[in-house]
Amino acid sequence: MPLTPLRTAGLIVAVVFAALTIRSYRQGKIGNGDLLVRFVVFVLPLLVLSALPDLIGWGFDEFSFKRGGGRQVLGATVLAVGILYLFAFSLSGRQERSRRDLTRLIENLALEQFEQFGHPEAFSGGIAVVIPAYNESQNIHHVLGALPERVCDLPLHAIVIDDGSNDRTTEAARAAGAAAIRLPMNRGQGAALRTGYRLALVTGAEIVVTMDADGQHQPSELSRLVGPIVASEADVVGGSRVLGEADPNHAARELGVKLFAQLLSLLTWSKVTDPACGYRAVRTEALRGLEFRQDQFHNSEFIVEASKKGLRSTEVPVTITQRISGVSKKPAHFRYGMGFANALVRAWLR
């Protein structure tokens, strides 16, 4: 069979890709597994298709991609797309395993740091306030200074999870008397909260409260969140700016709150008025049955998980004000909405 321009191009691409693969392997950029996959999945099939197409021509004939009119080229394209799909699926699984391994490593390091410097025994029988913080050195001491010593007759202590800040957030939190743990890299509010939950679980605290480090949540309203849990009326209590008060926000953000509140209410068969408020209290033991995977958009995942596990949930009015200083770390409105929706759907489907 004559060597056509298309087959010649295929041979050249196969040889060039093989050379680049071998070079990467010798430089230590890829391992044995990647070397094998690249040759088996890409190089060898392309060489066979280009140099000896008759070897697999019978397969194309069986699937109605007979020679002539470009049908075998179409068949090769379909085969390539199938192989690429399988390869992408494999890479996705490997990426997820790597992400989980990294998560376990970071949480284990945080736990070790907390047990060494955080005095976890002080939290036993009380309230652990988990505060994720990223570059909040100018605000964190104001937030911690406003926390009461006791709420609903339970002692209260704070755990600040410094999410890889570039400033002195950890030092400021420790100077204010909190147990502060600094994560080695910035991964997002959801990842910081997940770490904080794990630390709170080892302390023996009765209740875990989450609040922001920028001063938007009012410590004076802690009893509203904690009270229903102490009274055994709820397992989870979420703050709601819709039921309470909030400083004016961007119109797109307020519209998003309303739309996602309706969607979550429908999906969870419950009444949700504020799906984006991170001011929340939860009975500590209830956390053991919840699975959190989102590194950034945590609120929607929490609401869906709590509903799926049958936890008794309610909302109480809270006041949300402007941050004390600095700028918000949240992404732009459209990106925030897309990320929130993605986290919601993923949590609901699993």
283 beta partners: 207
Q: Which ranges of 136-271 would DSSP assign to H, the alpha helix?
A: 140-145, 169-175, 189-203, 222-230, 251-268
Residue 65: predicted pLDDT? 52
Is the per-residue pLDDT at 6 higher than 70? Answer: no
Residue 274 has pLDDT above 80, yes or no: yes
CATH number, span 118-349: 3.90.550.10
Of 124, 276, 258, 260, the closest CA to residue 190 belongs to 276
For the chain, domain boundaries: 5-99, 118-349
Q: What residues pair up with 156 in beta bridges, in sequence order?
A: 127
Give the separation between CA 120 and CA 127, rounded to whole angstroms.
Answer: 12
Flag whether pLDDT at 346 surpasses 60.
Answer: yes
Q: pLDDT for 191-215, tens place per residue?
A: 999 999 999 999 999 999 999 999 9
Compare 330 and 136 and report the one with higher pLDDT.
136
Structure confidence at residue 119 (pLDDT): 87
- Measured on CA atoms in the order 304, 306, 309, 311, is the torsion positive or negative? negative
Torsion of CA 164, 169, 174, 179, to 10 degrees: -40
Mean pLDDT of 176-194: 92
CA distance 245 to 277: 12
- What average pLDDT does the structure give for the chain? 85
Q: Confidence band (pLDDT; 50, 70, 90) for 48?
A: confident
Q: At what angle do helices 54-62 and 44-51 cross, to 10 degrees?
A: 90
pTM metric for this prediction: 0.77
Q: Which residues of 297-335 are buried (b: 16+ CB within 10 A; e: fewer)?
A: bbbbbbbbbbbbeebebbbbebbbeebeeeeebeeeeee
Condensed to tens digits (0 to 9), the pLDDT of residues 93-121 reads 777 788 788 888 888 889 888 988 888 89
Residue 77: the pLDDT is: 63
pLDDT of residue 293: 87
Query: What percentage of residues in the chain have a pLDDT greater than 90?
Result: 47
